[in-house]
Chains A and B, each alone.
Chain A
């Protein structure tokens, strides 16, 4: 009897590990191994034949120095664009998520469905569609031009505004959904209680709703900022020669120049800078749990 009990206790100890095993294997195969391969490449120097280079691991930290000194414009531009896109996404998404969570009533599912609907269309098609909408001869440009609201280039497409707009459009859903989830979780009785205590609407938003929705704000910001900073499709299709982002450089180093160590160093540098930014951000917001 005692033996059976201890073996079942043992089994219950192993069970959690068994349950995370598939995820661990997945992470090991698709993250840890490629990550180390990338890190190794980034510290290698290439030699031998030009198109079939042999990479020799040589602790070549010069690749990292090069990454920062050769492409400072693209790095600052990427973070500038991503930051702008994240802030605008937050400003646009918060009221929408608020309305869906508190005011939509029986239309809640319908509105959520409408929010998600455009994302059934491929990312590329949606981005290319903006090329048509923002075309120089299109009605948007002529309408804005007639009221004098065009940027200095006299066009919309192939400007930084188009790139930032594309980033906002493509990533905003990742802001709306976490915000909605965190707002939806708020117990309405807390709001009633704040009203009972004579709090104004503004005050109960500031003291009750906003703090309780912070996990959503944090998660949403990260989900928008991180992919936006590494994006290259929007800059490629909606941008110009003056709006290249670090993603475009990495892509070009990998596929055209085929300087794998430089490309790998750039990728890891980007990752490190994002990680540092994210750590500072989470610390500043003081949120322990992300969701």
Chain B
């Protein structure tokens, strides 16, 4: 089905939408995402729906057949991609966009997973820290190298990442930057540093992430702290600044992933933002800019994992392998506009749209990457401690 549609057209279509991967996250808004996400999905006229399956795979015990249930973030998929996979593999895919927020998802699945009960998904796409937590709890299946022959296409830095050396249990899906987005029409000047966020001219026009890692990371970097080796002191130091600015009325909201609405509507001039979102929003509002603060930004990697309750391990591995084909993956990037996790994507991206590979947010410069740091794999105690400390500011 995908072959009938010009991928380039599709990528423009994707860019024209104001909807994003994390359309509404904010832990309050699971229902909101369902309500709104649903209408956007309907508007997409996507042929990814499981009902459009071509044929049920023969259940004859051959490798990778039957049904694969995928749980992914909203709008993190290209039109036609699922259908193409079904045609290529003979696997029926039940694709759900019901992953809205890492912590909320965890709160939902932890009881059944702790009792080794099915969670209705054979593959999910949590962010790295959540994948690590699940692995530590012993709730993930390893991904076999036999079913994942395209593993070699993974970027070397991700393959040997300290959180999962050699990628035994988590397959990176997308990566991106947590930086600052600003509306140049509203700020009237370029934004370059964290201190620009605290400019009294933008009082009540700044939004920050309520997630501890995404919200605090860049602040810590600006204070000379490290996210690769965080300490309670460095986290607390960042929180103190946030508290001071909050009490002054500088920070308008602590957002989930709904910051983009305020940014696009002009309610917020500077927002902590995810890079891919901004690439998509720029199509509607050229005044929007994404910047990595001079002192640095943090990166995130969302990963495909297989819960140990999966009912179709082989199909999940077949899906991961299909995603890891560069030509297939380029179609995903054209839609979601995040930073590819596969290496050497330029050629495939340029086949879809010559401008795609040169977009600095899809293909960040070395200078940007040098300034971007990934959070260390935190222990459960650290995560809990930082969440609690930060919640004391965001919740009061």
Contacts and interface: CB of A to CB of B under 8 A. Distances in A.
Interface in B209-233: 210
B6 interface: no
Contact of B266 (A124, A128, A135): A135
Contact of B27 (A124, A125, A251): A251
Interface stretch (B120-128, B250-258, B276-284, B363-371): B250-258
Interface residues of B, number: 39
B44 interface: no
Interface string B251-280: 111100000011001110000000000000
B137 A158 contact: no
B204 A153 contact: yes
A71 B251 CA distance: 20
A51 B106 contact: yes
A241 B388 contact: no
A233 B114 contact: no
B267 A241 contact: no
Interface stretch (A9-17, A218-226, A255-263): A255-263
Nearest to B28: A236
Interface stretch (A37-45, A168-176, A177-185, A242-250): A242-250
Given A51-B106, A125-B35, A252-B394, A259 B266 contact: no
Contact of B388 (A131, A157, A244, A257): A257
A84 interface: no
Interface in B22-71: 26-29, 31-32, 35-36
B251 A132 contact: no
A122 B34 CA distance: 11
B288 to A, nearest CB: 14
B343 interface: no
A241 B380 contact: no
Contact of B204 (A71, A74, A155): A155
B387 A257 contact: yes
A241 B133 contact: no
A124 B29 CA distance: 9
A248 to B, nearest CB: 6
B385 to A, nearest CB: 9
Contacts of A71: 396
Interface in B367-396: 380-381, 383-384, 387-388, 391, 394-396
A6 B380 CA distance: 68
Given A158-B253, A256-B103, A124 B31 contact: yes
B88 interface: no
A256 to B, nearest CB: 5
A136 interface: yes
A131 B261 CA distance: 9
A244 B35 contact: no
B20 interface: no
B137 A52 contact: yes
B104 interface: yes
Interface string B323-355: 000000000000000000000000000000000
B265 A49 contact: no
Contacts of A122: 35
Given A124-B35, A135-B266, A153-B249, A50 B384 contact: yes
Given A51-B137, A153-B204, A254-B107, A240 B253 contact: yes
Report which residue of A51, A135, A155, A258 has the largest number of chain B beta carbons within 10 angstroms of its beta carbon. A51
B314 interface: no
A108 B249 CA distance: 47
Given A125-B35, A258-B107, A137 B204 contact: no
B167 interface: no
Interface in A109-161: 122, 124-125, 128, 131-132, 135-137, 153-155, 157-158
Contact of B396 (A240, A244, A253): A244
A192 interface: no
B391 A256 contact: yes
A232 interface: yes
Contacts of B265: 131-132, 135-137
A242 B249 contact: yes
A73 interface: yes
Contact of A135 (B29, B210, B267, B395): B267
B251 A241 contact: yes
B254 A233 contact: no
Interface in A49-67: 49-52
Contacts of A132: 265
A137 B264 CA distance: 11
A239 B249 CA distance: 12
Contacts of B261: 131
Contacts of B262: 131
A259 B106 CA distance: 14
A240 B394 CA distance: 10
Contacts of A240: 204, 252-253
Contact of A50 (B31, B210, B383): B383
Interface of A: 49-52, 71, 73-74, 122, 124-125, 128, 131-132, 135-137, 153-155, 157-158, 232-233, 236-237, 239-242, 244, 248-249, 251-259
24 contacts: A50-B383, A50-B384, A51-B133, A52-B110, A71-B396, A73-B396, A122-B35, A124-B31, A131-B265, A135-B267, A158-B252, A236-B26, A236-B29, A237-B28, A240-B204, A241-B246, A241-B253, A241-B394, A244-B395, A248-B28, A252-B394, A253-B395, A256-B387, A258-B103
Given A50-B384, A249-B395, A252-B391, 12 more contacts: A49-B380, A51-B110, A73-B396, A128-B36, A135-B266, A157-B267, A241-B246, A244-B396, A256-B210, A256-B391, A257-B384, A257-B387
8 tightest A-B CB contacts, nearest first: A50-B380, A137-B266, A236-B28, A50-B384, A124-B32, A252-B395, A135-B265, A255-B27
